[in-house]
Homo-oligomer: A and B are copies of this chain.
Amino acid sequence: MYTYKHPRPSVAIDLVLFGIIDHKLVILTGRRAEPPYKGRASLPGAYVYEDESAEETCTRKIKSIGLKPSYLEQLVTLTDPYRDPRGRVIAIAYYGLIPIPQEIPTGDTKIDQMSWITPEEVQKQSWAFDHKKILDIAIKRLRAKIQYSAVSPHFFPEEFTVPELAAVYCAILGRSIDVPNFRRDLLRQNLLVEVGTKHVRGPRARTYNWNWKNKEKFFLSLG
């Protein structure tokens, strides 16, 4: 038992994990198996342990779900004293990107029926706690972020072609983009390093990696 002079909230993390399946942006969600909010859709979460930063809690949780931790960024901290009916819990929300080829995870103590759902489905669901708010922030942030930072390598760890990269951007934005202009934009800013070629159909496509040196002054207009 631990005793303090003043009451202290417990601290937890909530995760918005993005992936790409069938050229669509998807988010990992579950359904609460226990009250409160039993039966509602919810985000994976975990309590922050002693001697563990919130980031470490996130990576631990992601690993326990059975996914490989990828890019992770803090979103927002929710501090409403009454956001959890069981008692005060401060939630630090993060979003993470999960590389594409990973199996659909199973098994979480408090959440079952884990599944990947699209942003449109997010709007239709009925969410536990303030998770809907977190999701709205996360989707907005991700879409803004891809304009000025090289997010996609986290979805796409290997070398990629410009059309493949464009497909990832389309998936995140939920709309089509002009590939020729996209290519020019990337090349003009020296954001890519040519590494080889590959081909599936049509002419051989050049493959690239990100030029991490120029990652700072990154900006794409994206149609």
- Residue numbers of A with Cβ under 8 A of B are 1-11, 47-55, 74, 76-77, 79-81, 88, 90, 92
Contact = CB atoms under 8 A, between A and B. Distances in A.
10 contacts: A2-B8, A3-B3, A7-B50, A9-B11, A11-B11, A50-B81, A53-B80, A53-B81, A54-B90, A74-B76
B6 A47 contact: yes
Contact of A79 (B4, B5, B6, B92): B92
Contact of A8 (B10, B53, B55, B81): B10
| Main SS class of interface, A | loop
A1 B49 CA distance: 22
B51 A81 contact: yes
Which 5 A-B pairs give the minimum distances between C-beta atoms? A54-B79, A8-B8, A77-B77, A3-B3, A2-B7
A4 to B, nearest CB: 5
Given A53-B81, A55-B79, A77-B74, A4 B6 contact: no
A5 B74 CA distance: 27
B5 A4 contact: no
A4 B53 CA distance: 20
B50 A77 contact: no
A90 to B, nearest CB: 6
A3 to B, nearest CB: 5
